């Protein structure tokens, strides 16, 4: 990750949810997607204006076209073409359906798509298709992954971690390698949208998964990152130091205390299908709408974003944590459970030395405490 990016001035990742239309009925869907497009989606012209604004952050700004299923928009190829022509690094997160044919992948490759991210939540057709709510989704996704490889489009695999999928992870790691993916993005469930009916893993189980991910990353032929689980960076740091971590603010930090990674509102921004500007798709608190306010101004100046970029403003044990500048906790999960995006992340079991304040609640914390 290029940490030359000043996340006070620009996001490292900008996601535009181009539509919420999708033919799948995934159990965890943040967008609660539906088959038909919303009548108030940003138009093609408004979408191009949004990409123009994204270019104001600087050349090479990373823009992820997300959904729903972006292929539900007939102007998708036009938007990819336009974004690439404007000097943006455009990536895509299409749904694994029969619409994602090798011909479609080739067309996206010809347009200059920089990466394709496909979701795989089970290492077998039975497990994945049941989670995605559509028979054949696994086969369609694997075929699309192979088409991306053949077309020279770098592949990312996204996987949701919850009680239903956690046992699939070792076999999924093997599949990620078989598909020649460059990155495995492991998303720890935030209970929004349809995901509210799923059971998260406990904080202790999440810690074990992150320890396993850190070990796996040392020999895997692909990179590993987590989504909505920034305490993976703490776990990896502790592993590198053989369990005897010095807090990053301490005298032996050797530079690791600098701000790293991205979290909601801090290096990350999300524009909804109707133009609302959120810190993340999993933190649906609006800082404005691009139809009325500038995207750049929303990111740089909106109070919500500025608060989220101040690790010293965090509350509870996240605020007292010596790792708050390299982690900061999931602000989306804090918001989902408490309504306060600055509260402690209930998925993290780490307790700072000497901390005796309130512990976060939510998810399965109380049941497993």
User: What are 84-136's pLDDT values in tens digits?
Assistant: 999 999 999 998 888 999 999 999 999 999 999 999 999 999 999 988 878 89
Under DSSP, is residue 274 helix (H, G, I), strand (E, B) or coil? coil
Residue 137 lies in a domain: yes
Residue 277 lies in a domain: yes
DSSP 306-329: HHHT-GGG--HHHHH-TTTTT---
| CA 141, 147, 150, 156 torsion-angle sign | negative
Could you give the CA distance from residue 246 to residue 256 in angstroms, rounded to a whole number?
10
In the predicted model, is pLDDT for residue 61 greater than 70?
Answer: yes
Could you give the CA distance from residue 296 to residue 34 in angstroms, rounded to a whole number?
30
Residue 17 lies in a domain: yes
Residue 35 lies in a domain: yes
Could you give the CA distance from residue 29 to residue 185 in angstroms, rounded to a whole number?
16
Contacts of 248 (CB under 8 A, 6+ apart): 237, 256, 257, 322, 323, 325, 326
Average pLDDT over residues 42-52: 98
Could you give the CA distance from residue 162 to residue 199 in angstroms, rounded to a whole number?
6
In the predicted model, is pLDDT for residue 335 greater than 90?
Answer: yes
Residue 250 lies in a domain: yes
Strands of 155-161's sheet in order across: 223-227, 183-188, 155-161, 115-119, 89-92, 62-66, 13-17, 268-271, 277-278
- Domain count for the chain: 1
Range of the structural domain that residue 196 is part of: 13-368
Q: Where are the alpha helices (DSSP H) in 167-278?
A: 169-178, 203-217, 232-240
Average pLDDT over residues 237-246: 69
For residue 277, the domain's CATH number is 3.20.20.70
- CA proximity to 16, closest of 192, 272, 267: 272
> Phi and psi (nearest 5°) for 278?
-115, 155
Q: Identify the pLDDT of residue 301.
A: 97
Residue 212 lies in a domain: yes
Residue 3 lies in a domain: no
Half-sphere exposure of residue 193: CA atoms within 13 angstroms, side-chain side: 20
Q: Identify the pLDDT of residue 36.
A: 75
Q: How far is CA 221 from CA 181, 184, 217, 218, 227, in A?
A: 8, 10, 8, 9, 20
DSSP 21-33: B-S---TT-TT--
Whether 92 contacts 108, CB under 8 Å: yes
In the predicted model, is pLDDT for residue 185 greater than 80?
Answer: yes
Query: Cβ of 308: how many Cβ atoms within 10 Å?
Result: 26
Cα 317 to its chain centre, rounded Å, is: 23
Residue 139 lies in a domain: yes
pLDDT bin (cut points 50, 70, 90) of residue 277 is very high
Average pLDDT over residues 262-272: 96
pLDDT bin (cut points 50, 70, 90) of residue 2 is very low
In the predicted model, is pLDDT for residue 344 greater than 50?
Answer: yes
Q: What is the DSSP letter of 103?
A: H
Average model confidence (pLDDT) across the chain: 88
| CA gyration radius, the chain | 20
């Amino acid at each position: 990750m290029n940490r030359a990016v000043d996340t006070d001035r620009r996001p490292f990742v900008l996601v535009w949810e181009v539509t919420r239309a999708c033919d799948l009925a995934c159990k965890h869907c943040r967008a609660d997607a539906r088959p038909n497009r919303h009548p108030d989606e940003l138009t093609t012209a408004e979408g191009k204006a949004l990409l123009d604004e994204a270019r104001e952050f600087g050349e090479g700004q990373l823009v992820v076209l997300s959904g729903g299923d972006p292929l539900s928009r007939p102007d998708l190829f036009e938007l990819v073409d336009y974004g690439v022509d404007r000097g943006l690094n455009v990536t895509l997160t299409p749904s694994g359906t029969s619409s994602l044919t090798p011909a479609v992948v080739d067309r996206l490759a010809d347009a200059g798509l920089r990466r394709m991210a496909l979701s795989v939540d089970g290492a077998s057709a039975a497990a994945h298709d049941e989670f995605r709510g559509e028979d054949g989704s696994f086969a369609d996704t694997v075929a699309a992954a192979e088409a991306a490889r053949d077309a020279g489009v770098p592949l990312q695999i996204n996987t949701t971690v919850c009680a239903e999928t956690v046992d699939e992870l070792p076999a999924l790691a093997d599949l990620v390698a078989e598909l020649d993916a460059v990155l495995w993005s492991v998303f720890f469930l935030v209970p929004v949208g349809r995901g509210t009916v799923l059971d998260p893993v406990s904080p202790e189980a999440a810690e074990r998964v992150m320890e396993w991910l850190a070990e796996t990353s040392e020999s895997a032929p692909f990179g590993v990152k987590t989504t909505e689980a920034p305490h993976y960076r703490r776990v990896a740091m502790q592993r590198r130091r053989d369990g005897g971590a010095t807090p990053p603010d301490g005298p032996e930090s050797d530079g690791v205390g600098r701000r790293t990674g991205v979290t909601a509102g801090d290096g990350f921004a999300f524009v909804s299908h109707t133009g609302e500007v959120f810190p993340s798709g999993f933190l649906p608190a609006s800082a404005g709408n691009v139809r009325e306010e500038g995207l750049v101004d929303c990111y740089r100046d909106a109070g919500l974003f500025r608060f989220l970029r101040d690790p010293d403003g965090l509350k509870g044990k996240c605020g007292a944590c010596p790792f708050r500048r390299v982690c900061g906790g999931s602000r989306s999960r804090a918001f989902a459970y408490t309504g306060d995006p600055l509260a402690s992340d209930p998925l993290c079991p780490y307790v700072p030395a000497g901390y005796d304040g309130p512990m976060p609640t939510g998810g399965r914390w109380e049941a497993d405490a």
